[in-house]
Amino acid sequence: MRQGKLSGLLPIGVFLILFIGSGILFQNFYAMPAIVAFLIALAVALIQNPKKSLNDKLRVVTQSMGDENVMTMCLIFILAGAFSGAVQAAGGVESTVNFGLSIMPPSIAVAGIFIIACFISVAMGTSVGTIAALTPIAVGVGDKTGFSMAMCIGAVVCGAMFGDNLSMISDTTIAATKTQGCEMKDKFKENFWIVLPAAIVTIILFLLLAGKSDYNIVGDLDYNLFRIIPYLVVLIGALIGFNVFVVLLLGTLCSILVGVLSGTIPFASIFTVIASGTDGKGGIMSMYDITAISIVVAGIIGLVKENGGIDYILSLIKKRVKTNKGAQLGIAALSSLVDISTANNTIAIVMAGPIAKDISEEFDIEPKRTAALLDIFTSVWQGIIPYGAQLLYASAGAAAVGIAITPMEIIPYLFYPILMGVCGILAILFSKSTRSNKN
């Protein structure tokens, strides 16, 4: 391993200072768009190491940006956006939610919301989309039953993070598997058995807290089973191991067909909903930011690695980690810290992924285990931090229907993200050391 240099990490430090500093200064962690902070960090990386010419540095940057895994990841982001825009326009979200609530026994109201959120987030691959779809319904359940509004919304966030972590069309899964070079289905199996106990205990906790109360949902719960088909196509196709490109294309085509036949998507609007959703902000357009960020981050990481930053982290971890399990704990800590700092689990995975890959190769950890750890521990913190998009969207969704709930009020009910972290640590401590298959 080359001699590492702390100075090689300067671009990452600059990004964190800018991003966190602007959030504290303006009391808004989205005051500075992440892409702006990353571009400044890239400029800093290009200024470093004056012994190398600018052309040489740009060559490193563009080679890293054009990496096969990075480009594949970006293409999948775009296809995931197309499916999201089409399926929402087709009315699949509303029908899926109403169907679940229509058949739900009265004794499992809040636990049922968690389960529905799990299903939708796995099918949609987006936690924010799930929260946006279900928060108004969760508020309605709380209003009509007397349950804590924060608890009902907490159940939505818990379920949303379940799918964000596990869904094979989630951008976090895409980023984790592509940065580690493993198959999505292998990561899913590795990940699923780690977090399953957390989901089961979460259901039990919600049943204990709210299961003894009766409720009677009043309102329109009309649903159309025909509109649920796109979700089933994506979910089943992903679980049986279809290529993610095939899954997303089938889901998008199925959504368009269902929308046109059911009258929710005018024939003339087919391409519009794919490109920008029903509100002009969804669809493929909603993936522009994360696609651009992924490319820029890849370039930054390329220079960070070239300037010895990653080798410095590796040597630092190596001094403190002597075992395979210790290295896994190091990856968990690394991904956690980056997510807390960036408030975006996909960005955190994109940033930490190359470093985690080097650690896993150094300590002989299977790529599927590393991908699972990255996704689990970034999702843990993304589902808890009050300045993350998930809790901010949950709070805003409640406000949209006239209920004031702050992110801090929801945090005590975020059982699943907390338990997911506990299960992740236990899986590392009490499982046999994972070994990659090396020749």
Query: What is the pLDDT averaged over residues 305-331?
Result: 83
Tell me phi and psi for residue 197, to 5 degrees.
-60, -35
pLDDT tens for residues 256-283?
Answer: 999 999 899 999 999 999 998 887 877 8
Q: Quickly tell me which residue has 């990386």 as its tokens.
A: 45
Cβ count within 10 A of residue 63: 12
**pLDDT averaged over every residue in the chain:** 85
The residue to which tokens 């699972």 are assigned = 372
The tens digit of pLDDT for each residue in 326-384 reads: 999 999 998 888 888 777 888 889 888 888 898 898 888 999 999 999 999 999 999 99
Length of the chain: 439
Q: Which residue has the higher pLDDT, 75 or 56?
A: 56
Whole-number Å distance between alpha carbons of 6 and 311: 9
Decide if 1 is inside a domain.
no
Domain assignment present for 439: no
Please choose, from the candidates 294, 418, 431, the residue with its C-alpha nearest in 3D space to the C-alpha of residue 366.
Answer: 431
- pTM, to two decimals: 0.73
Q: Is 185 a domain residue?
A: yes
pLDDT digits (tens, 9 = 90+) for 395-428: 877 876 677 888 888 999 999 999 999 999 999 9
In a domain, residue 438? The reply is no
**180 falls in which pLDDT band (50, 70, 90)?**
very high
Q: Which residues contact 81 (CB under 8 A, 6 or more apart)?
A: 282, 283, 284, 285, 286, 287
What is the predicted pLDDT for the residue at 439?
41
Q: DSSP per residue over 106-143, as a string? A: GGGHHHHHHHHHHHHHHHH--HHHHHHHHHHHHHHHHH
Cα 433 from Cα 430, distance rounded (Å): 9
Residue 343 lies inside a defined structural domain of this protein: yes
Are the beta carbons of 307 and 5 closer than 8 angstroms?
yes
**Residue among 133, 159, 145 nearest 107 (CA):** 145
Residue 38 domain flag: yes
Give the number of domains in the chain.
Answer: 1
Domain that holds residue 399: 6-430
How distant is the alpha carbon of residue 431 from its chain centre? 25
pLDDT digits (tens, 9 = 90+) for 212-252: 655 566 566 677 888 888 878 877 776 676 777 888 899 89
Q: For 365-394, what is the HEC assignment?
A: CCHHHHHHHHHHHHHHHHCCCCCCHHHHHH
Three-state secondary-structure class, residue 294? helix
The verdict on residue 80 lying in a domain is yes
In angstroms, the CA 122 to CA 163 distance is 4
Please check whether residue 377 lies inside any domain of the structure: yes
